[in-house]
Structure formats: C-alpha cells, structure tokens
Structure 1
Amino acid sequence: MSERSSTVPAAGTAATRPASSRRNEWLLISFTGTTNTADAVMRVALPLLATTVTDSPALIAAVAIMLTLPWLVTALHIGVLVDRRNRRSLMVGAEFARMAAMAVVLVAVATGTVNLPLIFAVALALGVAEVVAQLAAMSIIPSVTPKSRWQSLNARLTATEYVTFSFLGAPVGGFLVAIGFAAALGTSGAVYLLGALMLTMLVGDFAVRSTRERRPARVEIREGLTFLWRHRLLRTMAALITVMAGCWAAWYALIPAYAVGGPLGLTPAQYGFLLTSLGAGGVLGTALVGPVNRLIGRRWAMFADIVGTVAMVGVPAMVPGAPASVWPVGVAAFLAGVGGTMWTVNSRVISQSLVPNELLGRFSAASRLISWGMVPVSAAIAGGLAQLFGFQVAFGVFAVACLLMVYPFLRVVTADAVAAADAPRADEGSGEK
C-alpha cells in the first residue's frame, strides 16, 4: 500500500471547509478549554476520592489505569467510527457521556456509597469517552481551517490544553476537592455540558467523504495500521511517544500518593499547585514553539520533550523525598511541560500533513494504540514498583527508559524527514475563506 492513496478526497478543500473557519477555530479553542478544565478537575478528584477508601499506591494508581485503558482496547474500532461518522456529533456525544459519568459518582458521594469498583467503572467510562473525543478532535482540524493555519491552530489548542488542564484546572480541582468532592464532580459535569453546547455552534459539514465503498471494520483498521507501519518517520515518532507517554503515565499515577499521602506531605490544594508547574511550562512552550521552530527547526524543538521527560521522572528518583523536594520536582515538571508542547504542536502538524484526511481517524487510533496504549501498562508497572521497592526506584526505571530514546530519535527524526511535512500538499485546496 502506498503512503498516499489517489482516491483520498481533498483535505480542507472548499467542499469540506466551513464558511467561517476563524469562527470555528475559536469555537474549537473554547471547547478545548472547557473540556480540559473539566478533565483536570476530574483527574484530581477521582484519584483523591480513591485515597478516602484505600491507602494502597497500586490501587490508587489503578484509577489512572482505568482512565487510560480504553486507548489500549477500544482505540482501533473508535478510529474506524471517526472515519465513518460526523466528527462533531461524536465529540458532542462524548461530552454527554462524560456528564452522565460525573452524575453517577456525584450521586454515590451524596449517598455515601462510594467504593473502589464504582470509581474504577466511572474512570473506565470517562476513558472511553476521551478516546472518542480526542480522535474526533484531532481528525476534525483539516475540515476547520486551511493548512496554512494548522500550526497556529494546533499551537493555540495546545496552549489552551495546558492552561486549562494543568495551569488552571489542577489547582481549581484541588480547591474544589478541599471544598468537597460533590463540588468538584458537579462542576466537572456542568462544564462538560457547556462544551457540548459550544460544539453545536460549529458550522459546516464535518462528515468524511470517501470515494470508496464501506468495507468491514477489520479491513479499515488494517489500513490505518499499515499506513503507520510503512511510514518510517511516523512509525518512529509513535515508538518514541510510546516510551515518553509511559513516563508521563508513571508520573501521573505515582504523584498523588507521592505528593499527598507520601514523602512530600502536601495538602490537596498544594498538590493542585504542584500540577500547575506542568501547565506553566506548557503555556511557555506554546509561546516559544514558533520562534524555536524558526531558530533551530522542528527536529530540535521536538527533542526538548525527551529532555523534559527525563527530568520529570528523573528528579523524583534522585531527590530524598522530603517536603523541601517539592521545588525540584516542580521545576522538572515545568521543563517537561515546555518540551511536551514542542512535541505536541509539531507532531500534530507532521501527522496532519502526511496522513490523508479520510485516514486521520484510523491513523490516530493506530498511533495512539501503540503510544497511549502503553499508558495503563506503565501506570500499572509504576504502581507495582512503588509498592514493592519505593517511589525512587519506580521513577528511576522510567527515567532510564526515556534516556534510551535519544539514539532512535537522532537516527530517524532527521531534519530532511521532518521538513517533508512543510512541503505543499498535493490535495491542499485554495486559501482560507
């Protein structure tokens, strides 16, 4: 199979681009802000809710596993769905599913019936909704704006994600949990509803047009996997992000027990502020990604993510774990936020440039199955290592794994390979309307 099929319809052409792409861009950015704020509050609240019924690092880490497990078991089939259905409608449905999940756990909190199986079930439902929303959102961009604005829109979306998820959402989540779990969960549900309403205001046709007859799901899944496997740059990027996503998953899985119930001894509100260091770095990274790309190129901008990720998991492995250690842990998370932004913006532009529009859902699913599918596995490994050997060993194992990624990055992610993403697309339509 060739890397680009001649039967693929134009991405972002006049037939698929909304009449007002700027309006849609700002609606998409606003939606990203609301849904990531709700996600942040929920991701602070659920693990901390688990700490009220258990003090086991492994069981608390299992909440993160349930939130990310759907990437491993459902991503490929949802990718087919994204390439068959209206992508906006799928995003709206995902928001309503998240709102319903919040309502369930809110009732449990109000009635005093919270238990670990319920928390795990709600986390799993939220994880499935996230897979739908993320794959649809990544795939909708070529229908929202022309290629000349992809880097700008991706940078703004990434900045919004970091501002709302880590910089604002995390401390807000900590403060809401301090008020009460009902306040945190109820706020998340209301914000998910607001996001769904914003999506209904997008204008245009967000269904995928294909010249091919619909084929069995297994055939379409194989097409996405084959495209990824045969493209050396994209395949290597997926492998690299697999390891780095695993490191981030380990950090997120361990940090609630490490910071609140463990060596750092933080309060929920202080824990929320610790998470803002990631968001602060991400915000700075989105401001710098354009100038850094121009100064040293996409390749070295993306390399910053490896450096930041090594610091994020390496510092907790080296510091003693006393309350004073919160500052180096926070600085390392800040560096990871900067590097994460550089990778996210550039990798999205590369993928959207090299992957046909009608294949974006399945390609994204295949890529994230490999990368984000490692997230629950890494969270489980991290929790087990912390349970058996302590936090420093658990963090240290992942720091070493990330260091090993330097060689394949330098060998495959070359300047020439990355530059191909900036070449004009053969199927690119005329300029923005």
Structure 2
Amino acid sequence: MSRLGETIIPARLGPRFRWLLVSSWTTNIGDGIAMAAGPLLVASQTDDARLVALAGLLRGLPWLLVGLYAGALADRLDRRTVVVVANAVRSVVLALLCGSIATGHVSIGVVLVAVFALGMAEVFADSTSSTLTPMFVDKPDLGIANSRMQAGFLTANQLVGPPVGAFLFAAGMAWPFVTQLVCVVLGVVLVARIGSTREQVPASVDTHVRQDIVEGIRWLWAHAAIRTLAIVILTFNITWGAAWSILVLWSLDRVGMGEVGFGLLTTASALGGIVGTACYGWLERRFDLAVLMKTCLLLEVLMHLALALTTAPWLALLIMFGFGAYAFVWLNVSQVVRQRAVPTEFQGRVGSVYLIFVFGGMVIGQGIGGLIAEQWGLAAPFWFAFVGSGITLALVWSRLSSIAHADETPAEIA
C-alpha cells in the first residue's frame, strides 16, 4: 500500500474494514446529492409549508417507529446481509421514483411515500452498518476507524454531495436520483466484498424479537457508565435541537446573513468537522478520552453562549467552524466509548437505543425551541441551550472519567 493510502486507511484496520469504508463513502456521495435534490423535488411538487414539513418528518419518523426492531435484527442476523438487503430495497425505491419522474407521473404523494420508504430502509442499513466496525477493528484502533468514517461523511455527504445535487437537479429533475441510485448499487457491491459476518449470529435463537429488545435496554440501563452517557446524549440533543430549530431565522433576522450566508454556516461547520476528524488520531494519542469528552462538552456549552450573544456574521461563521471541529471529535469519542464497552452480541440493540435518544432528543428540542423563540425572541433558544447543557455538564462532570473508560466497568446484570 502507498504511503498516502496507509495514511488514509492504515493496513492494520484490515481489508474487511476497507471494503466497508469505501462502501460508506460511496453511498454518502449519493445521500449528499439527495440532501439538496430531495427538498428541491418536494418544493417542485407543492408550495404548502405543511407538506414540506411533513417530508422532513417522514424522513426521521422511521427511526422512532422501527429503530429498536432494526437493532434487534442486527444482533440476530448476518449483518452484512442486512445491510445488502436494506440498500437493495433503497435501490428499488429510487428506481421507482426515477421512473415516475421520467414518465411525468411524479406527485407530492409519490414523493412523500418514497421519502418514508427510503427512511425505513435507511434505518436498517445505518443501524446495522454501525455494528460492523467493532467486528473488524481492534479496540485500540476504533477511534481511527470511526474518524475515517466521519471524514467520508463530511466530505461526501456535507460538502461535495449537496452542490452536485443542486446542479444535477437544475440539469434535469431525475438526474440526482439516478446518480444516487448508482451510488447505492455500487455501495451494495462493495459491502458484499467483506464476506460473511455470520460469526456474530447466535447458533440458535429461541427468543422473540421483543424479548431481544428488552434485553438490550436492560443491558444498557444496568451499565452505569453507558446509561449515563445515553442520558447525556439525550439531554444535549434536546438543548441542541432547541437552538438549531430556529437557526435559519436566527441567521436571517438576528445576524442578517441572508440566504447565502445561512448556507455558509453549514459549510463552515462541515469544514470544521473535517479538521476535527483529521486531527482525531493526534488528539487520541496525546489526551485521555475523559479529557476529550470534558473539553468537547464544555465547548458545546460555550458555543451556545457565544451564539446567544453574537450578531456579527463573521463571528457566527467562526463559531460554526469551531462547532464542527469539536462536535465530530465528540461523536468519535462517544462512539468509541460505546463500541469498546458493548459486547458484540448487543451492539445492534444498544446502538439503536442511542439513535432513539438522538432523534427523540432532537424532536423534543425542536418543539421547545420554536415555543421559546415565539415567546422570548430568536436568541432565547440559545440561552435555553446554554443553561440546560451547562447544568447537565455540571451534574455529570465528575462521572465523565468513568464513562470514558466504560469498557473497564461491567454491567450489573443478574
């Protein structure tokens, strides 16, 4: 392997992880294209704000409906097969959507059904994909492996994909979804190359899926460190969701950045995330995970305060760059802590509970944020986020060291 290749994907991570990583990068390009083209397609079919909002709801709703079930299946079945089948279903839905657009039969109803169906398939694909990395990579290398995953997500999904999607949509309504279809199919071919993952499949299964889900929840709740980490993720997503729910209005009306400026906020965050993921290996070698966790959460609290106070566009962009840098370091650290501590046979179920906490916290926060802004102004949700996250951090500060080394603390299960 060349020196550049060794730097990007170290050989010690193994060939199975390399196939998984390249597959993830490929599908993320397609998903990034759809990130811009999807809303444009919805807007081309309706100007009803309720239907536009419904499209966003239908994309996230599957996580709350079947997230736990998807996690349980990931622990019962060959995980590679689950990913392949889920992405194959995505391919079929995308092919039908492309056909409806090409033949002129597309409508807002067709688009909403497609959005929901794609969301359902993505729940199973994403829930299961996240369990494969700790199967292929040794615990000491999980930080590097996850940072490479995140780098691909940021570059393909957040930076490259959206502008390409908008350009393709302008060239022809069907083109971005045809391109996404090609990316998903190629991703299926690549992930199939990792070989069977039946080594994690139980020799015999004599329990109902519901019982498996309950066992996963019990395992998480019995492990003090992992339980506390899950609660931290829930509360910080509530405060984050409250602030981010009105970010577009805050940037337009309070900071005066305009539509282009609002888009630059996302770009600044993604650029910061690339820097954070690129530096992750260096940070993990020089600092204890507990130090990284405390620093990231403290920066989150201070970021909310800074956004509550600022009215300067240049400062808002600088803050968002910093947010992206530490947010993706935190994402890596929290994921490494969980992957190291959770046994292989529970990775799918515990991971799905985390995703429920993530999406549930965001939904709660978004509802709170809108009410707070309507009552007290556009800066108020950021003040709420500052106070709420600050109190949460103060309460868990002394426990972050034990959380960071959760793999050394066994679950207290009878």
Q: Note the C-alpha offset of 1:176.
A: 3.5
Task: State yes or no: 1:407 paired with 2:398.
Answer: no
Unaligned runs of 5+ in 1: 1-19, 424-433
Residue 292 of structure 1 corresponds to which residue in structure 2?
283
Aligned equivalents of 2:188, 2:408: Cα separation in 1: 33
Unaligned runs of 5+ in 2: 1-11, 410-414
Pair 389,369 (structure 1): closer, same or farther in 2 beyond 3 Å = same
Alignment of 1:4-403 (within 5 A): 22-52=14-44, 53-54=46-47, 56=49, 60-110=52-102, 111=104, 113-115=106-108, 117-206=109-198, 208-210=200-202, 213-246=205-238, 249=241, 254=246, 264-266=257-259, 273-310=264-301, 317-320=308-311, 325=313, 327-382=314-369, 391-394=378-381, 396-403=383-390
Q: Note the C-alpha offset of 1:234.
A: 0.9
Is the 2:76–2:202 contact (alpha carbons within 8 Å) kept by the matching residues of 1? no
After superposition, the C-alpha distances for 1:86-115 in whole angstroms (9 at most, x for unaligned) are 111111122222233333444454427432
After superposition, the C-alpha distances for 1:216-269 in whole angstroms (9 at most, x for unaligned) are 1221111100111111111111112123334555666655677799964325xx
Aligned equivalents of 1:47, 1:240: Cα separation in 2: 31
After superposition, the C-alpha distances for 1:337-390 in whole angstroms (9 at most, x for unaligned) are 212221222222221221111111111112222233333444455466667876
Compare relative contact order (CA 8 Å, sep 6+) and give the higher one, 1 or 2. 1
Aligned equivalents of 1:100, 1:258: Cα separation in 2: 39
Aligned equivalents of 2:372, 2:110: Cα separation in 1: 25
Q: Note the C-alpha offset of 1:309.
A: 4.1
- TM value normalised by structure 1: 0.79
Is the 1:86–1:206 contact (alpha carbons within 8 Å) kept by the matching residues of 2? yes
Q: Percent identity?
A: 26
Pair 184,305 (structure 1): closer, same or farther in 2 beyond 3 Å = farther
Query: If each structure's helix is expressed as a fraction of its own residues, which one has the higher value?
Result: 2
Is the 1:71–1:131 contact (alpha carbons within 8 Å) kept by the matching residues of 2? yes
Q: Note the C-alpha offset of 1:181.
A: 4.0
1:408 alignment partner AA: L
> Which moved further from structure 2: 164-173 or 154-163?
164-173
After superposition, the C-alpha distances for 1:377-414 in whole angstroms (9 at most, x for unaligned) are 44455466667876544555445433333223313212
Is the 2:64–2:360 contact (alpha carbons within 8 Å) kept by the matching residues of 1? yes
Is the 2:243–2:381 contact (alpha carbons within 8 Å) kept by the matching residues of 1? no
1:293 alignment partner AA: E
Aligned equivalents of 1:207, 1:142: Cα separation in 2: 13
2:394 alignment partner AA: Y
2:27 alignment partner AA: T
Pair 51,31 (structure 1): closer, same or farther in 2 beyond 3 Å = same
Pair 87,239 (structure 1): closer, same or farther in 2 beyond 3 Å = same
2:351 alignment partner AA: S
What is the root-mean-square deviation in Å for CA atoms of aligned residues? 3.4
Q: Note the C-alpha offset of 1:305.
A: 3.7
Aligned equivalents of 2:107, 2:375: Cα separation in 1: 27
Is the 2:213–2:349 contact (alpha carbons within 8 Å) kept by the matching residues of 1? yes
Q: Note the C-alpha offset of 1:282.
A: 1.5
Is the 1:78–1:131 contact (alpha carbons within 8 Å) kept by the matching residues of 2? yes
Q: Note the C-alpha offset of 1:284.
A: 1.1
Aligned equivalents of 1:99, 1:261: Cα separation in 2: 40
Aligned equivalents of 1:199, 1:261: Cα separation in 2: 45
1:245 alignment partner AA: N
Aligned equivalents of 1:256, 1:349: Cα separation in 2: 32
Q: Note the C-alpha offset of 1:154.
A: 1.7
2:407 to 421, 426, 429: 421
Provide the secondary structure at the position in 2 that maps to 1:54: coil
Pair 45,312 (structure 1): closer, same or farther in 2 beyond 3 Å = farther
After superposition, the C-alpha distances for 1:90-141 in whole angstroms (9 at most, x for unaligned) are 11122222233333444454427432x4444333222222221222112112
Provide the secondary structure at the position in 1 that maps to 2:287: helix
Aligned equivalents of 2:244, 2:405: Cα separation in 1: 33
Pair 261,156 (structure 1): closer, same or farther in 2 beyond 3 Å = same
